Amino acid sequence: MKLFQSQIELGQRVLDALIVSGSLPLAFWLYYGHFYWNDKYTITAFAAVPIFYLGARISGLYRAYFVQFSEQQIKALLLTWAMTLAGLLLMGYAFKSTHELSRVTLGLYALVTPLLLLAGRLVFLRVIRAMRARGYGVRSALIVGTDSNALALARNIAALPWLGVSLRGFVGGAALDAAEAAALAPVVGRLADLENLVRGGGVDIVYVSVPMSDHHQINAILRILGDSTVSIFLVPDLFTADIMQGTWVTLGDVPTVCVIDGPARGINSVVKRAEDLVLASCALILLALPMLVIAVAVRLGSPGPALYKQLRYGANGKPILVWKFRSMRVMESPAEFTQARRDDQRVTALGRVLRRSSLDELPQLFNVLGGSMSIVGPRPHPVALNEAFRGEIPGYMLRHKVKPGITGLAQVNGYRGETDTHEKMEQRIRYDIEYINNWSLWLDLAIIIKTPFTLLRGENAY
């Protein structure tokens, strides 16, 4: 991608400039039904473009690759547009010209432009991907090595054709998984053949995926490749350390890999807590009467209390008491916990409805107000479940770097309810770690919006 980054960025900048300047007359037409133009509108439309570019530089809008539409790019785009509007208002105030423009037109301009910018990016994305599919800018690559890292890299190249990399083959001995390697690309030679392969032409990139500890082999490969014009990339063997969702962080001139770090620090912790207090308070006000009805129904439906509390792990692995509506005829101790299964005889008739709809979790809003839980975060597992899996899944306890949540990224991605296999729990943990490493207010809101649709499916909730 980097080879054509400048051309792609230029195309995106031109498209953005056309949208930012052209949306103002469009807004006027939408309201008045005809075009009317004067010097003030012309100055506003053209001034918006450099202000937008300045905001884009601050927000980093043009730093990301343009072949993948991400949440980060959406946030940068909206921030850039907000700074553009602020700049235009300041300019209008400084020149005392705001009264000469239609406020309705400016309001429509403020609303229509970000929508068109988002739509423009989607169209631009499709054009770039279509060009990649037709071979434009595609570079041929070799992978030196046949270990698990090499296979993982080959899988990504095959899965992401819009990156513009065509894998010609592997260079090395027999692959760890010969069948998978053969399905991805052929082994075109051994290390002794590498010099002839790159000198023969037709190779633009070489990925070197050999153990970092083998300095002699790496240096020998680099000497061979240094006598050619191919681009060279070293693939560090960090997958063996199971770094999961690790990210690169540079301390001075020393690169490090951040395996995980709690996101709720500094201003983020204030934003996260404010989000929890506002949402939990509003939810309790709206749901107070339904919660009272559920409590009475549970109390009358079977012997036992309406609410019960269970010991679970909270932030930093500290024990917390989590509240729920009782959905079973028995209340097990933490050491005797058994996950609810389909047609579980312990679950009451009302309890099945509550568990399938997750209404039994509503009392955890009080946990959120109390500060032991959050609206969004990794779901708190019973102590017995934690103890059963913490020794089996590497990095399991890292999910406790943050407060547990009523809903989470794993739940809206299909890993809600029973985790009856090692693979299901492993995938849930991976989503939890991904959430921690990529936390943002936008991500929380997206998860909250998706949660009701997940509940409607009622999957894995017994």
Contact 222, 212 (CB under 8 A): no
Of 172, 137, 142, 139, nearest to 154 (Cα)? 142
Task: Answer yes or no: is 298 within a domain.
Answer: yes
| Residue % of the chain over a pLDDT of 70 | 80
**Residue 76 · residue 114 · CB < 8 Å:** no
> Model confidence at 49, in pLDDT bands (50, 70, 90)?
very high
pLDDT digits (tens, 9 = 90+) for 413-428: 888 766 667 788 888 8
Q: Which position has the token pair 């936390």?
A: 439
Residue 184 maps to which CATH number? 3.40.50.720
User: Same structural domain for residues 196 and 292?
Assistant: no
Confidence tier at 2 by pLDDT (50, 70, 90): very low
Query: Does residue 193 sit in the same domain as residue 74?
Result: no
Tokens of 22: 């052209």
pLDDT the model gives residue 158: 83
Structure tokens at 314: 């909270």
Cα separation, 462 vs 460, in Å, equals: 6
Same domain for 331 and 412, yes or no, is: yes
Residues 155 and 125 in one domain: no
- For 239-278, the DSSP string reads GGGT-TT-EEEEETTEEEEE----S--THHHHHHHHHHHH
Note whether 129 and 214 are same-domain residues.
no
The residues near 340 (Cβ < 8 Å, ≥ 6 apart) are: 328, 346, 347, 355, 418, 462
Query: Nearest 5°: CA angle at 407, between 397 and 343?
Result: 90
How many angstroms separate the CA atoms of 287 and 362, rounded? Answer: 9
Mean pLDDT to the nearest integer, 306-327: 88
- Average of per-residue pLDDT values in the chain: 80
Give 137's pLDDT tier (boundaries 50, 70, 90).
low
- The partner residues of 189 in beta bridges, in order of sequence, read 171
Using one digit for the tens of pLDDT, what is the confidence trace for 145-161?
888 888 888 888 887 77
Pairing of strands 254-258, 247-251: antiparallel
pLDDT of residue 374: 94
The CA distance from 32 to 365, in Å, is: 48
Higher per-residue pLDDT: 86 or 462 = 86
Assess whether 275 and 222 both reside in one domain: no
Q: Are residues 380 and 301 in the same domain?
A: yes
Contacts of 219 (CB under 8 A, 6+ apart): none
Tell me: do 75 and 177 sit in the same domain: no
> Any idea which of 12-21, 57-66, 359-368 has the lowest mean pLDDT?
57-66
Assigned domain for 262 exists: no
With 0-12 / 13-18 / 19 or more C-beta atoms within 10 angstroms meaning exposed / middle / buried, residue 129 is middle
123 CB neighbour count, 10 Å cutoff: 11
The pLDDT of residue 304 is 83
Name the more confident of 451 and 92. Answer: 451
Region 19-27 average pLDDT:
88
pLDDT of res. 438 = 81
Per the structure, the complete domain to which residue 371 belongs is given by 267-457
- What is the 8-class DSSP label of residue 19? H
pTM, rounded to two decimals:
0.54
* Residue 213 identity: S
Per-residue pLDDT averaged across 6-27, rounded? 84
Burial profile 261-286: b = 16 or more Cβ within 10 angstroms, e = fewer: ebbbeeeeeeebeebbeebbeebbee
The confidence score (pLDDT) of residue 461 equals: 56
Least confident among 169-183, 200-214, 355-369? 169-183
Residue range 240-282, pLDDT digits in tens: 444 545 566 666 666 666 666 666 566 778 889 999 999 999 9
pLDDT of residue 301 exceeding 70: yes
> How are beta strands 139-144 and 205-208 bridged, if at all?
parallel
Assess whether 46 and 66 both reside in one domain: yes
Q: Is residue 215 part of a domain?
A: yes
The band of 114, judged by pLDDT with boundaries at 50, 70 and 90, is very high
Report yes or no on 260 lying in a domain: no
Tell whether 261 is covered by a domain: no
Give the pLDDT score at 43. Answer: 84
Question: pLDDT tens digit string along 374-410?
Answer: 999 999 988 888 888 887 887 788 788 889 999 999 9
Contacts of residue 23, defined as CB under 8 A and 6 or more positions apart, other chains included, come to: 109, 112, 113, 116
